[in-house]
Amino acid sequence: MKKFPGFLFLITPVLLLIFSGCNSGEKTERQDKVITVSILPQKYFVDKVSGKRFDVNVMVPPGANPVTYEPSPRQMSNLGNSLAYLKIGHVVFEQVWMDRIRSANPRLKIFDQSENVDLIDHGGNGSTHSHGKGVDPHIWLSPESVQVQLRNIRDMLIKLDSVNRKDYRENCQALMKDIDSLDAEIQHSLEGIDNREFLIIHPALAYFARDYGLEQIAVQKEGKKPSPARIRNLVDKARERNIQAVIIQKQFSTDEAKTLARELDGEVIQIDPLAYNWMENMRTIAGKLRKALKDSE
């Protein structure tokens, strides 16, 4: 009996090898089923088109800001478990981190969700948005643009798992049909509103505004807080056009919005462009915008 502990000591390495072999196999299996994305709305799209055949890992967690978020060392390490990375296309998070992600994971397959989307350039197509040089990244906030993005996601899934291509095509088509209905619903809700301009702190709704003949007046320019002179100009412009509501993104400080709302005797309306349930969130955003526009009439 005194030799028993020694016996355990001898077999422990063998057991460890057996269990590590099992874990290694499980890791490979998981890797075949994991797609990493940048933001939550992408997870919604991949879940819907894939029928949840893949686990979707989101880099920017709920409540975080894609402009400033830095992934944890654990997140960067876990990327090794992913079969592919689906970029949204032009968010600051990707501009800062994608080269590092690619360098650390040379075998990671990288796909671009923004491919073939009609992008809005800074200062072009009525956009007042800027994160610096580049294009407006908020392509997921437009039903029309999302139709293009869903085809990209469908094609990515077929490349990763051609056996289930029929399901991916059918799921994509079904979701696009739902989006057609959503688009018609939003169009109808915004009919008969004469004032088509709205005031927003962070210029996230340029694509949405383009879809529905609206114009966003953005407080931030080039990602910078407005000067007192710019605030005064915006207040004068808003008063002239009877704009009272100030729209603010959930992930940003409300200080500027509250200051403007006080000046305008108006209210702050909060939206969350990064919510997971894209379909319901678009209805919510449209409803809040409708209220802001109606209050301005």
User: What is the full DSSP assignment across 50-110?
Assistant: HTT-SEEEESS-TT--TTT----HHHHHHGGG-SEEEE-SS-HHHHHHHHHHHHH-TT-EE
Which of 212, 222, 221, 217 lies closest to 200, judged by CA?
217
Q: What is d(CA 285, CA 275) in angstroms, rounded to the nearest whole number? A: 11
Nearest by Cα to 217 from 149, 130, 127, 293:
127
Do the beta carbons of residue 275 and residue 41 sit within 8 Å?
A: yes
Specify the amino acid at residue 255.
Answer: D
Q: Among 24-28, 42-46, 58-62, which is the least confidently predicted range?
A: 24-28
**133 pLDDT above the threshold of 80:** no
Q: What angle do CA 253, 201, 66 make, to 5 degrees?
A: 60
Question: pTM score, two decimals?
Answer: 0.85
Q: What is the pLDDT of residue 120?
A: 95
- Please state which of the ranges 24-33, 58-67, 159-168, 215-224 shows the lowest mean pLDDT: 24-33
Using DSSP, state whether 146 is helix, strand or coil.
helix
Q: Six-digit token pair at 291?
A: 């209220």
The span from the CA of 233 to the CA of 132, in Å, is 22
Per-residue pLDDT, 297: 74
Angle at 54 between CA 48 and CA 55, to 5 degrees: 105
Using one digit for the tens of pLDDT, what is the confidence trace for 1-38? Answer: 444 344 333 343 333 333 333 333 444 445 569 999 99
Query: pLDDT at position 31, please?
Result: 53
Give SS3 for 35. Answer: strand
SS3 of 37, please?
A: strand
Residue 267 confidence class, pLDDT cut points 50, 70, 90? very high
Angle between helices 40-50 and 143-160 (to 10 degrees): 60
Structure tokens at 225: 């807080």
What pLDDT score does 186 carry? 98
Question: Which residue in 35, 28, 64 sits closest to 152, CA to CA?
Answer: 35
Mean pLDDT of the chain: 86
pLDDT for the residue 139: 98
- 187-238 residue pLDDT tens: 999 999 999 999 999 899 999 999 999 999 999 876 677 888 888 999 999 9
Check residue 30 and give its pLDDT. 52
Q: Using an 8 Å Cβ cutoff, are 141 and 204 in contact?
A: yes
Rg over alpha carbons for the chain, rounded to the nearest Å, is: 24
Is residue 45 within 8 Å of 149, Cβ to Cβ?
Answer: yes
Residue spans of alpha helices (H) in the chain: 4-31, 40-50, 73-78, 92-104, 143-160, 165-189, 206-211, 228-240, 255-264, 278-295
